[in-house]
């Protein structure tokens, strides 16, 4: 989409109701969406900023974040073909998974997209959210904000009021997409982006969707701000594999809410990876809304320097005879903080629930890294199988010494331990490109000195 004629109010610091109106007018949106944005803004204004006195934020300090000081919109250059994208983005695409459809959001706008002709012929729709609003308004209006409403929390309110760019995927009934669909979010300016992802997988269809977030490494003292929302609808007997790969530069503050709804006999496999950003807060929630629905939730995170990486998960068993399995594994070193807070909630009447939750953490080195793990159960039915557990421990120095005594340098020994630790998650990743990219990113984190990692 062309960014010519961007109103000045969108390019200046500060967020306000005038900014909301200007953005909606700039996008030439229908009146119902303008009102939705304004409603979200009103909710945002009356919702207090979370503090460490709030249970969900007790370990993550965001008191220094002044949202209103960010520029609400980051302009994007137009491109006509993949070769016109920034070199760094082209490299990401080349090193990533093979894809049958591609969408690139550069700063606040989607700058290019393509879909294989064979998929178009089958009725698959993959485009930016604003194009979808014009061409497929009936589907978008029915589903948008349905899973991440404006009153979910303060950040969701802001994301609903000021989203721009974003992606929309619709897979028609019975269509099986064998090659993954890929979306990239690239941020290379100081400003804010509010991406939104809406995925609708119809009855009996199947697809793999990869959402990647990246930006150049920078020593800039000014922060950029990413605040997104992801809504995943999976119909009866359908299957969705969703991957979120966050590897922002260290000057980014990242907030994201990912919520899914699985229909009867539907399955959702999610993988959420958090490696970058200075502060990253991600909510991941799976709604098991019909009998036979199934959710596998995998997570991998690695924090170093003074990073804060915070995950809150929910396995929400609403229907009977549903299954969920969560495994999140994280590592921390230097003065980093990781937080995992997970809840299995079994609603009244959700008999025959089968749910598992595991969180494991590894501390590297002898510095001040910390891992907080809070697995929980809330059961309101009496015929269920549920379990939860967590472990946190340091790398065994004797184990490292043993390998070093056999001629393996300490850095290489640490790599072996960490890769072995994460193997329980990575062994479940069937996507070769994603797994290789993760291996490179983890290796880079282990291989650098503390001073190099800060830079």
DSSP 362-385: EE-SSSS-EEEEEEEEEE--SS-E
Q: Which two tokens stand for residue 243?
A: 């991957």
Cα 423 to chain centroid distance, Å, stands at 21
Phi and psi dihedrals of 123, rounded to 5? 95, 5
Helix (H/G/I), strand (E/B), else coil: 325: strand
Cβ-contact 167, 183 below 8 angstroms: yes
Backbone φ/ψ region at 265: left (φ over 0), alpha (ψ -120 to 50), beta: left
d(CA 111, CA 130): 12
Cβ-contact 299, 360 below 8 angstroms: no
Parallel/antiparallel/unpaired status of strands 125-128 and 167-171: antiparallel
Helix (H/G/I), strand (E/B), else coil: 397: helix
Parallel/antiparallel/unpaired status of strands 224-234 and 294-303: unpaired
Which residue's entry shows tokens 């804060």? 308
Show pLDDT as tens, one digit a residue, over the chain (455 residues): 444 578 999 988 999 999 999 999 999 999 999 999 999 999 999 999 999 999 999 999 999 999 988 999 988 877 777 888 888 899 888 888 899 999 999 999 999 999 999 999 999 999 999 999 999 999 999 999 999 999 999 999 999 999 998 999 999 999 999 999 999 999 988 889 999 999 999 999 999 999 999 998 766 678 999 999 999 999 999 999 999 999 999 999 999 999 999 999 999 999 999 999 999 999 999 999 999 999 999 999 999 999 999 999 999 999 999 999 999 999 999 999 999 999 999 999 999 999 999 999 999 876 789 999 999 999 999 999 999 999 999 887 788 888 898 888 888 888 888 899 999 999 999 998 899 989 888 888 887 444 443 43
**130, containing H or E segment:** helix 129-135
Q: Between the CA of residue 404 and those of 332, 412, 416, what are the distances in Å?
A: 22, 9, 12
Within 13 Å, how many C-alpha atoms sit on residue 222's CB side?
Answer: 10
Which residues in 49-62 are b (16+ Cβ under 10 Å) and which e?
ebeeeeeebeebeb
pTM, two decimals, is 0.94
Phi and psi dihedrals of 120, rounded to 5? -60, -40
d(CA 6, CA 177): 37
Q: Between the CA of residue 102 and those of 89, 90, 98, 176, 228, what are the distances in Å?
A: 12, 12, 10, 17, 19
């Amino acid at each position: 989409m062309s960014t010519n004629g961007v109103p000045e109010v969108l390019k200046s610091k500060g967020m306000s109701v005038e900014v909301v109106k200007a953005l909606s007018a700039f996008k030439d949106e229908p009146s119902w969406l303008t009102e939705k944005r304004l409603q979200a803004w009103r909710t945002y204004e009356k919702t207090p900023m979370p503090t460490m006195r709030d249970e969900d934020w007790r370990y993550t300090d965001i008191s220094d974040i002044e949202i209103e000081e960010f520029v609400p919109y980051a302009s994007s250059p137009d491109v006509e073909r993949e070769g016109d994208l920034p070199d760094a983005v082209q490299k990401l695409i080349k090193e990533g998974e093979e894809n049958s459809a591609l969408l690139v959001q550069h700063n606040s706008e989607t700058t290019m997209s393509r879909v294989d002709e064979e998929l178009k012929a089958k009725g698959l729709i993959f485009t930016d959210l604003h194009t979808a609003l014009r061409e497929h308004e009936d589907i978008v209006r029915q589903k948008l904000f349905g899973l991440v409403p404006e009153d979910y929390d303060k950040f969701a309110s802001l994301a609903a009021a000021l989203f721009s760019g974003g992606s929309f995927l619709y897979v028609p009934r019975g269509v099986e997409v064998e090659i993954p669909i890929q979306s990239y979010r690239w941020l290379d300016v100081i400003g804010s982006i509010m991406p939104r992802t809406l995925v609708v997988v119809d009855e009996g269809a199947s697809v793999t969707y990869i959402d990647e977030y990246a930006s150049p490494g920078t020593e800039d003292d000014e922060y950029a701000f990413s605040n997104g929302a992801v809504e995943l609808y999976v119909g009866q007997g359908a299957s969705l594999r969703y991957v979120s790969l966050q590897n922002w530069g260290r000057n980014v503050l990242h907030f994201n809410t990912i919520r899914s709804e699985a229909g009867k006999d539907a399955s959702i496999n999610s993988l959420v990876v958090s490696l970058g950003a200075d502060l990253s807060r991600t909510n991941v929630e799976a709604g098991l809304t019909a009998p036979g629905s199934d959710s596998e939730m995998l997570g991998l995170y690695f924090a170093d320097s003074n990073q804060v990486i915070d995950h809150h998960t929910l396995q929400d068993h609403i229907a009977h005879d549903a299954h969920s399995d969560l495994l999140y594994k994280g590592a921390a070193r230097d003065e980093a903080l990781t937080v995992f807070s997970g809840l299995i909630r079994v609603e009244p009447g959700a008999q025959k629930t089968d749910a598992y939750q595991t969180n494991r953490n590894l501390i590297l080195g002898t510095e001040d890294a910390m891992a907080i793990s809070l697995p929980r159960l809330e059961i309101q039915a009496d015929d269920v199988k549920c379990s939860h557990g967590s472990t946190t421990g340091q790398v065994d120095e004797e184990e490292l010494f043993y390998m070093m005594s056999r001629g393996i340098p300490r850095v290489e020994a640490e790599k072996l331990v960490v890769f072995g630790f994460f193997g329980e998650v990575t062994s479940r990743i069937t996507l070769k490109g994603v797994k290789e990219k993760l291996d490179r990113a983890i290796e880079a984190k282990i291989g650098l000195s503390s001073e190099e990692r800060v830079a």
